[in-house]
Amino acid sequence: MSPGGDGVAVPDTRPRFPADRGGVAVLGAGTIAQSAHLPAYEQHGVGVTGVWSRSSRTTDGLLERFPRVRRVYGSAEELLADPAVRFVDLATGPEDRLAWISAVVDAGKHVLAQKPLTLSADDLDRLPEVLAAADRAGVRVAVNHNGRWAPPWRAATLLVRDGAVGDVVGVTHVHDKPLPPLAGTPFDDVPHMLLTDYLLHWVDITRSWLLDGGAGPVVSVQASDSRVPGQPAQARNPWSATLSMTAESGATATLRIPGSAVSSRSGCPFWVHGTTGTLRGSVLLDSDRLDLDDGTSSTSIPLQGAWFVDGFAAAMGELMCAVEEDRSPENSAADAALSVRLVLAARDSADRGGVPVEVAA
């Protein structure tokens, strides 16, 4: 944080790295890795020792498109055995996630796992055993919750931590934008996909603000989803979803997707209300902004970068800094698991017709 012209501390939202930002290998070089992970590493000078994908077709031409990538490994085993690899960006799907994490840990490498960490309650119950093995091996396990470093959200996080709005009493998010293509994609096969997968970034950042803002952990979740007019018949998942959370202090949060919004100025506006002020902002689709209102005036907070792709670089940078500084990363797997428990509670609530589901604090 640095002082601004209006006396408001200006948060630094840029990705942070240690001096040595090399030794990364990407295990699972599919669409998200090539559209976000690798461009982020190129842009921020992260050294990539190589990549591996199950299909050789996936990596055709990859070395030409990404000059910082040194090689394509012939197998996952070859990648894990490479002594030049210090960090494995595990960009596979959530299936078999814990098995992959265990394999990376056994190889003595630090892990950045793609989100969601898992969508299995059984996996969450097994996670402490996997993380205990990581502790014994002296490696860190983090999750690619890149949304935490979307500049408006990151700035809001740092201001909340600094006490800029006092105690957080409420958080609200609204999706005022079209949904991405879902019909016919694997995402449409995930039950209650909007609640369990798509909204995970929003659930995760909201849980963080409630906790950092003194509201305590989320203790109750209520959710519903429904089909909407204009939704094509082949789209299996509902296109409307509402998820509400109540924290230990009584503070509340609501996340709302009304459907695939038609808008010439799309974005995802949000509000963080506190006892002494309010943060108002938006993320995505060139809508990035953040204002701090102290009840007498509103100050625009300067922002740097963009969620895509700076957030992806920052998630890896946080893991690297945590290793360098011998601490737990903000995006640790143990912390990410708490957000997964909330979306699973949302799924259960929707299955039960929207009744509140209690969450163990």
Q: What is the 3-state secondary structure (H, E, C) of 243-272?
A: EEEEECCCCEEEEEECCCCCCCCCEEEEEE
Q: What is the mean pLDDT of residues 8-16?
A: 90
Instruction: Phi first, then psi: give them for residue 144, nearest 5 degrees.
Output: -80, 60
**For residues 47 and 22, is the Cβ–Cβ distance under 8 A?**
yes
Give residue for tokens 């050294």. Answer: 47
Q: What is the mean pLDDT of residues 141-154?
A: 98
Q: Give the model's pLDDT for residue 100.
A: 97
Per-residue confidence band for 2, with pLDDT thresholds at 50, 70 and 90: low
Distance CA 52, CA 27 (A): 5
Q: Is the pLDDT at 350 greater than 90, yes or no?
A: yes
Task: Report the SS3 class of residue 296.
Answer: coil
Q: What is the mean pLDDT of residues 311-323?
A: 98
Give residue for tokens 């017709």. Answer: 353
Instruction: Phi first, then psi: give them for residue 307, nearest 5 degrees.
Output: -55, -50
**What is the DSSP track for 141-155?**
EEE--GGGGSHHHHH
Q: How much is the pTM?
A: 0.96
Q: Is the pLDDT at 24 greater than 80, yes or no?
A: yes
Which domains, from first to last, does the chain contain?
24-146 (3.40.50.720), 149-305+333-358 (3.30.360.10)
Q: What is the mean pLDDT of residues 254-270?
A: 97
Helices 333-351, 200-212: inter-axial angle, 10-degree rounding: 120
Q: Is the pLDDT at 200 greater than 60, yes or no?
A: yes
Instruction: Phi first, then psi: give them for residue 20, nearest 5 degrees.
Output: -95, 110
Q: Give the model's pLDDT for residue 7.
A: 63
Q: Give the model's pLDDT for residue 209.
A: 98
- Percent of the chain at pLDDT > 90 equals 95
Q: What is the mean pLDDT of residues 138-142?
A: 98
β-bridge pairing 252-257 and 240-247:
antiparallel
Q: Give the model's pLDDT for residue 9.
A: 77
**Sheet harboring 141-143: ordered strands across?**
48-52, 24-27, 87-90, 110-113, 141-143
Distance CA 298, CA 18 (A): 35
> 59-101: per-residue pLDDT in tens?
999 999 999 999 999 999 999 999 999 999 999 988 899 999 9
| Best CA proximity match to 80, nearest among 103, 112, 113 | 103
Q: Give the model's pLDDT for residue 6.
A: 61
Q: Give the model's pLDDT for residue 41.
A: 98
> 98-118: per-residue pLDDT in tens?
999 999 999 999 999 999 999
